[in-house]
Amino acid sequence: MRILPLLPMRSFYSGFINAPITTVYFICFDYILYISFNNKKPWYNEHMPKHYDTILQNRSQGFRAGALVIKDNKVLLMHQIFNGEDFYTLPGGTWEKGETIEETCKREVLEEFGINVTVGKLAFLIDTETRIAFYFVCETDETELKLGGPEGERMNEKDQYYVEWLDINKIVESNFIPPQAKEAIIRYMESPEQPTFFLSNNK
The per-residue pLDDT for 24 is 47
- Per-residue pLDDT of 23-47, as tens digits, reads 444 455 455 444 443 444 444 444 4
pTM for this structure? Answer: 0.74
Q: Distance between CA atoms of 63 and 61, rounded to whole angstroms?
A: 7
Class of domain 60-200: alpha beta
Q: Distance between CA atoms of 139 and 141, rounded to whole angstroms?
A: 7
Q: Distance between CA atoms of 104 and 123, rounded to whole angstroms?
A: 16
The per-residue pLDDT for 57 is 53
Q: Distance between CA atoms of 82 and 87, rounded to whole angstroms?
A: 8
Q: What is the average pLDDT across 86-114?
A: 93
Domain definitions of the chain by residue range? 60-200
175 vs 202, higher pLDDT: 175
- Per-residue pLDDT of 127-157, as tens digits, reads 887 778 999 999 999 989 999 988 888 888 8
- The secondary structure of residue 152, as a DSSP letter, is H
Is residue 158 very low, low, confident or very high in pLDDT (cuts 50, 70, 90)? confident
The per-residue pLDDT for 32 is 46
